[in-house]
Chains A and B, each alone.
Chain A
Amino acid sequence: MEADSNSYLDMELLRFSTAGSVDDGKSTLIGRLLYDSKSIFEDQYEAIELSSKKKGEEGVNLALLTDGLRSEREQGITIDVAYRYFATPKRKFIIADTPGHIQYTRNMVTGASTSNLSIILIDARKGIIEQTYRHTFIASLLGIPHVVFCINKMDLVEYKEEVFEQIKKDVEAFASKLDVKDIHFIPISALHGDNVVNASKNMDWYQGGTLLYLLENIHIGSDHNHIDCRFPVQYVIRPQTDDYHDYRGYAGRIAGGIFKPGDKVVALPSGFGSTIKSIDTLDGSIDEAFAPMSVTITLDDEIDISRGDMIVRENNQPTVSQDLDVMICWLNEKKLQWRGKYAIKHTSSDARCIIKDIKYKVDINTLHRLEEDKDIEMNDIARISLRTTKPLFFDSYKRNRYTGSVILIDEMTNETVGAGMIINK
């Protein structure tokens, strides 16, 4: 909250998720980040001070800051993704705070889906446990560009360097098998504040930055795809007023690449080509637009384009197909139905699909492929093949999170039941 008004407008946005198990101090860490960065208001602090007293706790329990709903307060655990906000003079942060227990894999996946960075907590006394594998795997599966392992509760292992180094070595050994691009390690004590916002006085052997320093400085400029031009058409704007009689604008949010007036483009699925005439906003026309901007594009030629279509560059086109392989995270109590039919959403496109094959389930704790196990229940992750009722225009999830992701919807209940990441075959 200390940002002054001039620098504030130049700040970048960093979205990060936190994963941890019930007792490894995740809520305390977030509470500590908010408290030490002075993002806590007096009335919020007073409220948790009062609750801490009511529960007979010593001191103020910072973890209470992030406990949202009454049912959670009663159980003392976080059951759903909760979003928190804070800002420093350098960046504004959105935290997707997700519970780490196995039954909440779906929440972790949800929180991770929009994150630039993931914080994974490890209890220094316990080292790597099953959940560490699971959290790291999910971060890698969801394509989170940066992963930070916070070795927490260093105070309980006398701030020993050996403990930190051993855990670091263990994590590196298994993370090398996963697709995680950028890994960091920080020894912390969330309870006492070591290396969270302020540098620790107890670990002079640690030369790296604090967690907040890393969050403020990590390079996120390359987290969007600025190479493959993808513009899913969301809405067609036709004012039909005197001033804009023949105006036909294609509104959408750029999913990848950089678009400029004069660019030769192709509309999918029709395949008709045209040239970008203008890129419009209420504040005037602009010279270029890139992900994740929301703009309106007009073309030189009048071609038939509607919601669900995609404008791309002539020489760089996505895969167009009705058959796709996806890694799916199952989100619903009702099992995935082999040969079942679901509604599917992909960018601005709606279709139906049939589950053609369940190839294998992933044991998210050991990362083994279970090829015989076709029982896909809530919180399971599996590789499946789908066939859609109409062609989708997609990239692999690895290449582009927005043109590479789908959700499945149960047509009876309308619930979102599956989150899929497309694999390029």
Chain B
Amino acid sequence: MRTYNLTHIKELESEAIYVMREVASQFENPVLLFSGGKDSIVCAHIARKAFFPSKIPFPLMHVDTGHNFPETIEFRDKFIEKIGANLIVASVQKSIDEGKVIEEKGYNASRNGLQTVTLLDAIEEHKFDAAIGGARRDEEKARAKERFFSHRDEFGQWDPKNQRPELWNIFNGMKHFGENFRVFPISNWTEMDVWQYILAEGIELPSLYFSHQRDCFVRDGVIMSESEFIPQKPEEITQEMQVRFRTIGDMTCTGAVASDADSLEKIIEEVAATRTTERGTRSDDKRSEAAMEDRKKQGYF
């Protein structure tokens, strides 16, 4: 007998497509946040599926810290051209130049926190009423309670105690003037799901995800890529290492892992066997136990 069951990956895809279509229907001016990382690439892929054979009916936006891996930018530009989408670049450097934010100083200085200001400014400037992101609930404790449709007040703030209940698959995107939403279509995916989906769908990724030779140094047990953006201490000696990245963010806070995984299949094997979370390589989360919760309240993803 024919059974009518979806595999879990197909069910998650269907849910994410549904969310994309709700965004396009419920909001006037949505935007898809695109970092060049695998989660945002998967989101863009799903957006294509949701509206095929039309093009994605909203632009993609990259919040550019100016401290990107060059590979990310190269990939981003090719990808955008291939899918024929509009790209908006919001620049953290510009926020710094305009004096809206002050750069952190010292060895562990990162522009990661500054992104929030640039993001909120860009949302205001372009009058976006919904920003779609690739955040997942399995990434971090504070995200476990995030909604698919996450309401933000006119200051872009997230109030964890006052979120709208989300029932069945009915999403409430109603809002007052000046308020906006963050929407997370792949909320229910895990890191493993994302990788399996990338493999199953044949999705292209930046080369950073695959094992390669790179000049690195070790700080607080995390392997960092040598870069003009990070001042090294004398004892932090650069050496060539065989590494890959599990997440892609700002060069100043994204750590690499020693790895020989140079294909999707090998990466999946590695993810299946790994014993630390992917955010374990993110130094920005290590600042305090509630680091992510604090940044989210201020309007970070």
Contacts and interface: CB of A to CB of B under 8 A. Distances in A.
Contact of A110 (B50, B166, B192, B268): B166
Contact of B53 (A1, A92, A221, A239): A239
A243 B53 contact: yes
A206 B126 CA distance: 63
B293 A70 contact: yes
Interface string A238-252: 110101100101011
B144 A68 contact: yes
Interface string B45-59: 000111111110000
A42 interface: yes
A409 interface: yes
B8 A294 contact: no
B293 A69 contact: yes
A385 interface: no
A3 B172 contact: no
A282 B49 contact: yes
Interface string A60-102: 0000000111110100000111111101000110100000000
A345 interface: yes
Nearest to B279: A43
Interface in B1-18: 3-15, 17-18
Given A4-B272, A83-B137, A92 B4 contact: no
A243 B190 CA distance: 37
B78 interface: no
A253 B196 contact: no
Contacts of A406: 170
Contacts of B11: 13, 292
B126 to A, nearest CB: 22
A414 B14 contact: no
B163 A80 contact: yes
B36 to A, nearest CB: 21
B197 to A, nearest CB: 9
A235 B21 CA distance: 6
A402 interface: yes
A226 B1 CA distance: 14
Nearest to B201: A283
A80 B161 CA distance: 8
A7 B161 CA distance: 39
Interface in A403-424: 405-407, 409, 414-416, 419
B122 interface: no
Interface residues of A, number: 83
Contacts of A346: 170
Contacts of A205: none
Interface residues of B, number: 69
Nearest to A292: B14
B51 A82 contact: no
Nearest to A110: B165
A303 interface: no
A42 B272 contact: no
Interface in B157-189: 160-161, 163-170, 172, 174-176, 187-188
Contact of A345 (B53, B138, B170, B187): B170
Contact of B277 (A41, A238, A292): A41
Contact of A282 (B48, B144, B290): B48
B130 to A, nearest CB: 14
B188 A94 contact: yes
A293 B138 CA distance: 24
A405 B168 contact: yes
A239 B48 CA distance: 12
Contacts of B52: 237, 280-282, 296
A148 B200 CA distance: 34
Q: Which of A1, A10, A238 has the most B CB atoms < 10 Å from its CB?
A: A1
A79 B160 CA distance: 10
B24 interface: yes
Interface string A348-376: 10000000000000000000000000000
Interface string B250-293: 00000000000000010011011111110010000000011001
B117 to A, nearest CB: 23
B8 A11 contact: yes
Contacts of B269: 5
Contact of A251 (B51, B138, B175, B274): B51
Contact of A402 (B9, B169, B188): B169
Of B165, B193, B272, B289, most A-chain CB atoms within 10 Å: B165
B89 interface: no
Interface in B116-173: 137-138, 141-142, 144-145, 160-161, 163-170, 172
Interface of A: 1-5, 8-13, 41-44, 47, 51, 67-71, 73, 79-85, 87, 91-92, 94, 106-107, 109-110, 113-114, 221, 224, 226, 234-235, 237-239, 241, 243-244, 247, 249, 251-253, 258, 280-282, 290-294, 296, 307, 331, 343, 345-348, 401-402, 405-407, 409, 414-416, 419
5 contacts: A8-B196, A106-B165, A221-B5, A235-B21, A405-B167
Given A1-B273, A70-B293, A294-B15, 5 more contacts: A12-B6, A68-B141, A69-B141, A94-B188, A414-B175
